[in-house]
Amino acid sequence: MNDTVVLHADATPSAAALLLRPWCAKDVAALVEVFRDPVLRQWTSSVVENEADAARWVRGQERGWSAGERFGFAVLETRSGPADGQLVGHVVLKEAVTGRPSAEVGYWTAAHARGRGVAPRALEALSGWAFDALGADGLERLELLHQVDNPASCRVAHKSGYDLDRVLPAAPPSFPREGHLHIRRRGD
């Protein structure tokens, strides 16, 4: 796989189409703006305070693509064409290793885009791509984890076909509270 992967999610009657593409340097300023949201900061372990932090974060996403085991996508809302778009979120496929039967997905939505179905549509596009691209290499299931006190993530999981598998114990400091493990299997 390489960084030329571009995914799409169709427009709905109430929301613009989405374009998912690998992160790049031109996303730095928008990323800083998105990370000013205290709600986003509550649910992510990433720290993006300024353009230097954002540039490091983007380079980390690029390294994941180069290593072939972490595939992060900037999610852009496209209103007038694929060349332009406003940053509305992020989806990522983590721990995608050839021969491993599972990988993890993650996501966040910018504050200005919440409530418009961005995360479920982007996650659906990512999930389909992951199974298509890695199914022949042994990928059988995708795992989605979130803290139990994050009901918005639970709704996204259900809307995206990820069934609740079990409650996981807290694992501080990364996961200070219990969590939900949701699973989607290839073919579901």
Please state, in angstroms and rounded to a whole number, the distance separating the CA atoms of residues 21 and 74.
5
Q: Are 96 and 103 in contact (CB under 8 A)?
A: yes
Please state, in angstroms and rounded to a whole number, the distance separating the CA atoms of residues 28 and 58.
7
pLDDT tens-digit series, residues 48-64: 999 999 999 999 999 99
Confidence at residue 1, expressed as pLDDT on a 0 to 100 scale: 55
Confidence at residue 80, expressed as pLDDT on a 0 to 100 scale: 64
| pTM for this model (two decimals) | 0.93
Mean pLDDT of all residues belonging to the chain: 92
Strand order in the sheet with 163-168: 7-9, 17-22, 70-78, 86-94, 102-109, 141-147, 179-185, 163-168
